[in-house]
Amino acid sequence: MELFVSCSRKTAPILAEELKGLCIENISESAAGVRFDADLATAYKVILWSRTASRVLMTVAKFKADNQQALYEGIREIDWTEHLDYRKSIAVDFTSTRSALSHTQFGAQRVKDAVVDQFKKDVGDRLMVNTNRPDVRINVHVQNDEAVASIDLSGDSLHKRGYRLEGGVAPLRENLAAAILLRAGWPEIARTGGPLIDPMCGSGTFVIEGALMAANIAPGLLRNYFGFVGWKGHDKSLWAGMVGDASRLAEEGKKRLPPIVGSDHHPRAVEHAKANVTRAGMTGYVKIEHREMAKARPPMKAKMPGLVAVNPPYGERIGESEELAALYKELGSVLSKRFRRYKVALITGHPEVAKNIGLGKRKASTLFNGPIECKLYRYEVD
């Protein structure tokens, strides 16, 4: 089968490297994700283990679709009875780029009509539609009038691990936080016993993702909804075996975690972060503290320098640039005084204001936190 694995914008190279670590080869990168050929076990492995993926789409067919009728007919020609049971519900996601089919809502309607009409004609039953939590999600993307129809095996975006019911203001998506930690070299730091600290932790995404990564816990273990469960090709035994193996690794991994600490000056953020840590199964392994950023310091149990990962407020969270500049200056002062020889990964939506951190030489890359273009800066504190 051909798979397309999507991800947050600008993180495809990180996703590709992660998948190579899962022994996946011949990966082709694009702006929106990566594509490769795989068997069902590999598809399951990506869904269970990838920390940076958004969706896993299994290609069903490709065809020319330069108008609504061509789209409808192309979808009708696919034998959907190979993939769908008439008793199951469906939803359709439709996107287009540089295409005559620019009306995505109408495009989704035509795809749905074609699938439903095929079942009415060939099976005699009408498929149910459930846009919230369907048994099977169909994805159609049209680019340059070429359509790709897929089954969304993930069902919902994989960044929704299941632990973050409590969110802060402008929180990082879980898979973006994981991508930042991978780019910052956190797995290597954790293996040597270095700690992870987030002095402005908000809902705790950095420290929770860091703990899952350091303990080698598959993020898919936390989810209770997958798009392949209602698909006819699902192999229950294969999936159950992979989940069992991952569960055993998770219990072992928790025994070797380095110190991981998140703190925030907002009492409600601390409350939310603690609840998220509990849902992630990391109580006792991830420490959440109520503390002003100015009082941040390395954990007492830290035996060596580690990583500070931080997502300070940006313009969408604090309106006054002067206030923001002062915050960055204070953060830089705290890091330079108390976190010598630590690595720092900082994501910001205000790169000009971020210069006030004053930590000197940095490595920069562009990322997107949802629709917000951001810079990821990586420092080594002298």
Question: What single string gives the DSSP state of each residue in 159-220?
Answer: T--S---S--SSPPPHHHHHHHHHHTTHHHHHHTT--EEETT-TTTHHHHHHHHHHTT--GG
CATH classification at residue 265: 3.40.50.150
| pLDDT mean over 80-103 | 93
* Same-domain status, 71 and 140: yes
In the predicted structure, residue 194 carries a pLDDT above the cut 60: yes
Q: What is the rounded average pLDDT of the residues 29-44?
A: 97
> Residue 99's domain is classified under what CATH number?
3.30.2130.30
Q: How many domains does the chain have?
A: 2
Encode pLDDT of 318-336 as tens digits.
Answer: 557 788 999 999 999 999 9
Instruction: Tell me what the mean pLDDT of segment 134-152 comes to.
Output: 97
Instruction: Tell me the C-alpha distance between 115 and 207, whole Å.
Output: 43
329/127 Cα distance (integer angstroms): 58
Same-domain check for residues 192 and 56? no
Residue 183's pLDDT band (boundaries 50, 70, 90)?
very high
Rg (CA), the chain: 23
Confidence band of 127 (pLDDT split at 50, 70, 90) = confident
Q: What is the mean pLDDT of residues 359-365?
A: 93
| Cα(148)–Cα(130) distance, integer angstroms | 22
Are 204 and 141 found together in one domain? no
CA 211 to chain centre: 15
262-317 residue pLDDT tens:
999 999 999 999 999 999 999 999 999 999 999 999 998 888 999 999 999 865 54
What is the span of the domain harbouring residue 269?
174-217+259-380
- Best CA proximity match to 214, nearest among 182, 245, 243, 244: 182
